[in-house]
Chain A
Amino acid sequence: MVVLFHRKNQLCMTSKKKAIKKKAVPKRKPSYSRIKEQPAIRIIVEVVVRNETSGDNSNINFTGHKILNTVADAIEAVKPYEFVIKIKKISNIIIRRIDIENATLYFDDLKDDPVDPTFWLSKTSSKVLGSTFLLSVEATGDTFTSTTFNLTCDDKKVFDTDQNIDIKSNGRGLYLNKQVALP
């Protein structure tokens, strides 16, 4: 199998028998104002599948399609960050909802930390395209109680010190930071 990358105007796959036209990459116009007008960059994935033993190419389309998708996915997507949130358990506090950029966690997503069961632990992943991300933790519980949490992003600690979630006099608590810097 040979996978070739070319810059052309279409994305296609060729086999020994025929070339099959695959999905076209959506047209992309850079929104960035300072970029001068230039021809759009296109990526061509040319896949040649040879069935060496039987010469039967009946499964070429399927195999080629699969490879094509995998390759296309691997090259053009922004990779997500892995987040792990660790929250101190306080018996009368319920974590209602956690938002980490585009990921959302609920109370039942929190599991006992295998290392220290006095903490909840939850893992999620989300793309963060810029340099900051939104973090919001909603909690409910007994008035004036408080818990703490910390977060790792790709195994790096996000906060030097644990952050507090305080339950106010109406039984609700919120931690919200719209611009948490990526570590």
Chain B
Amino acid sequence: MRKYQLIILACLLASQSLLAQGLTQNAEGQSSILFKGNSLSFDIGKTEIAFGMNNLDQIPSTKTKKANNYFIKGLSIKAGSEEGIGNLFSNGDLVPNSSLRVFAGLSFSNLVDENHNNRLDEIKKEKEKYQSKFEMNLIDTLLAIVEDETVIVIDSNIKKRVITELNEHIKIRIKSTKDFRTFLSKYVTNDATTALALREIIKRVKELEKEYETSKEKYDSLIELESKRSIENPYWKLLLFGYGGINAMSFKRFDSISITNPAGSFIDEDQRGGHFGIGFNYQRGRFKFGVIYDYFSTNNFNYLTKKEYTLRQTTTAGSQSLIQEKKVTAYAGKFGKVEINRLNIDVAVAFKIDKEANNYLLVNPYLRGNFYSRDTSLIPNTFNIGTGFYLFKKSGKFLGGIYVELPDVDNTIEKKKKPEDQNIRPAMKRLTLGIVAKMSLKSILSKQ
């Protein structure tokens, strides 16, 4: 049943339009950098579906400094199979793996410069003062222009009608000098003197408009200057957070051969674990830096050996015998729960890759380390290093990404094996190259 639910979810994902967001991910799908908004991802390589939502983009009003410092919270849920995509869609036993993670913390940034807002508001106030003065004179001035220029209209009836109509527009409907000019240019008349008067009025309104625009320009230039000055200040953001979570996994483990009941050689393991830790993210301009450090209660599933077993059951009745075969995927090896500490470090740097900056590349070197293992025979202290390369369109659409990883940099795992089983190879020969495909759904919550 769980298998079908995963398949349906995967199909739903494939039908959604792509809305990419920044991401960094290593081979294990871990990152120490928090990303905004809500996302649902499907990692082809890992047969993993993840859903995350947070309030990193739900910023208080940018009118005040409140938007610079605010409380952040979020959660992510991950479900997948340790067996890989093939087994998810085959008849083999599914090995589900799920986790729930929540985080909460504080966000600090220089998103809003209140002084900049105040300076702009002051300039705009001055501009409005000038505009109010102009507006107060505008109607009288236009009425005067109409009266002035319609002197040349010979027919007194036409003159009266024209003045009435123009004055009515000025007093009741006028929105701007341009609006009045448009009204005048559309005014239909057969009288030559009226047409001439209208042309003269348009001319004078244009001059009035020019005078106004020139005076307004000095305020707009101040606004431009202030805005340009403001964006020279690089944007930075610091997130400090604590997080924790639980994870669960089920799999079949081969214990030892049971002579009386071979089917009993397998144990259905149902493991629960948890973690909690602290972290910070710092962003400045094109650079992002993230660190998390946590305590993790887990097991050594990743170090078990996956094996395929065939369980044969023979039923004999007289001269006939019925043989039933069942394939069992199970994990063999010394198994146990263990507590470790983890350290993840990420750096992400954006690079322009074409002159117009239509696309950009996010380069993400990272480190994943396990330290202070309480039982190094189950989980040794190791660390992996790697680099991800992710290509984005400037619209934010994710085009694709790869990562290169060097697992267990100092060969701790191999060194722990018996000398005859050791396979210690140089770093370059142990590099892992992977493709990351991450699809983000449209926002489920508001804003983004």
Which A residues have a C-beta under 8 Å from some C-beta of B?
26, 28-32, 34-36, 38, 40-41, 74-81, 88-97, 99, 102, 104, 106-108, 110, 112, 117-118, 127-132, 134, 136, 138, 140-147, 166, 168-174, 176, 178-179, 182
Contacts and interface: CB of A to CB of B under 8 A. Distances in A.
Contacts, number: 217
Given A36-B148, A118-B19, A171-B285, 8 more contacts: A31-B137, A88-B395, A90-B448, A93-B396, A97-B62, A143-B360, A146-B394, A174-B227
Contacts of B20: 91
B228 interface: yes
A79 B286 contact: no
Interface of B: 19-22, 35-37, 57, 59-63, 67, 111-112, 117, 120-121, 124, 127-128, 131, 133-141, 143-145, 148, 171-179, 181, 204, 207-209, 211-213, 216-217, 220-221, 223-224, 227-228, 230-236, 283-286, 350, 352, 357, 360, 392, 394-396, 440, 442-443, 446-448
A130 B141 contact: no
B136 A26 contact: yes
B235 A170 contact: yes
20 contacts: A28-B136, A35-B145, A76-B171, A78-B138, A78-B139, A79-B175, A81-B175, A90-B395, A92-B22, A93-B396, A99-B120, A107-B61, A112-B447, A142-B350, A144-B394, A172-B231, A172-B235, A174-B228, A182-B176, A182-B179
Contacts of A134: 220, 223
Contact of A32 (B37, B141, B442): B141
Contacts of B395: 88, 90, 145-147
Contacts of A28: 136-137, 140
A39 to B, nearest CB: 10
Contact of B174 (A79, A89, A136, A168): A79
B212 A129 contact: yes
Nearest to B228: A174
B396 A92 contact: yes
Contact of B62 (A80, A107, A145, A178): A107
Contacts of A174: 227-228, 231
A90 B357 CA distance: 16
A78 B174 contact: yes
Nearest to A88: B395
A35 to B, nearest CB: 5
Given A28-B137, A102-B127, A169-B285, A128 B176 contact: yes
